[in-house]
């Protein structure tokens, strides 16, 4: 039997990158997918990709930092499919001017926190009641390896936001552990996605990061999606409040920044 057979999965940031790949993978494992993204074009592309593998998906436009839109997103999922079993809070941003503590603009800090941290909280705030109504489920929140160690290249807002995601996820896991809701964090290393490709358009900046990866390469979106699938499925049924690190060995290495 497929690992997500009969389940409904809501995936934010599903219009490209890891969210899009996860949508197709989850659908191939039996889930019906709510594709949530700010980009209508990206959302339509993901729905088409899901349908191409014989899956079922619908798109809802959302700014995850907007409470009314997130509430509407969850209501749409419940109205469309009648339940919510998997909540994959994947949407995130990494502005190019997110740098050192004293150089990062306040506006950049605020927007990163709104999307990367508040957006995850809002997803859980409105998603959890729907999951309780559905009998429980699994929450997968995307953090990062930089939530566990300082980044070799300064990125103060992004790193801080992802550390907050870990704390938020642990708190939810404890609060809802006896109500059949599990919550875990996925901690990727650098993954070859459109967001990171834009960030690493400068070859020197890319080399600065890749040199710290023991496996010597960026991760692939499908490698992270498989980790998310494990957390979403019943295969991780006794796992909550944990961090699944898929980083090519970065957090195992000793690094001295230049």
Cα dihedral 6, 239, 77, 50 sign: negative
d(CA 8, CA 82) in angstroms, rounded, equals 9
The secondary structure of 164-203 as a DSSP string is: HHHHHHHHHHHHHGGGTEEEEEEEE-SB-SHHHHHHT-SH
In terms of phi and psi (left: phi > 0; alpha: psi -120 to 50; beta: otherwise), the region of 134 is: alpha
d(CA 72, CA 82) in angstroms, rounded, equals 14
Please indicate whether residue 254 is annotated as part of the active site.
no
Specify whether the CB–CB gap between 104 and 151 falls below 8 A: no
In the set 81, 158, 176, 254, the catalytic residue is 158
d(CA 131, CA 25) in angstroms, rounded, equals 21
Report the catalytic residues.
158
């Amino acid at each position: 039997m497929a690992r997500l057979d009969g389940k409904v999965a809501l995936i934010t940031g599903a219009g490209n990158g890891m969210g899009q790949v996860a949508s197709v993978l989850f659908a191939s494992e039996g889930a019906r997918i709510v594709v949530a993204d700010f980009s209508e074009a990206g959302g339509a592309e993901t729905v088409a990709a899901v349908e191409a593998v014989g899956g079922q998906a619908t798109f809802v436009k959302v700014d995850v930092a907007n409470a009314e839109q997130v509430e509407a997103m969850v209501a749409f999922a419940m109205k469309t499919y009648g339940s919510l079993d998997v909540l994959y809070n994947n949407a995130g941003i990494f502005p190019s001017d997110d740098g050192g503590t004293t150089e990062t603009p306040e506006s950049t800090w605020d927007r990163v926190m709104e999307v990367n941290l508040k957006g995850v909280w809002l997803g859980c705030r409105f998603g959890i009641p729907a999951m309780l109504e559905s009998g429980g489920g699994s929450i997968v929140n995307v953090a990062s390896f930089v939530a566990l160690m300082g980044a070799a290249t300064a990125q103060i807002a992004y790193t801080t936001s992802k550390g907050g995601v870990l704390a938020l996820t642990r708190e939810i896991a404890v609060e809802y552990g006896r109500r059949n809701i599990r919550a875990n964090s996925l901690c990727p290393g650098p993954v070859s996605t459109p967001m990171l490709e834009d960030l690493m358009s400068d070859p020197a900046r890319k080399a600065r990061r890749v040199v710290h990866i023991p496996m010597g390469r960026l991760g692939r979106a499908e490698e992270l999606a498989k980790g998310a699938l494990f957390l979403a499925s019943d295969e991780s049924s006794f796992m909550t409040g944990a961090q699944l690190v898929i980083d090519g060995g970065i957090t195992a290495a000793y690094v001295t920044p230049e």
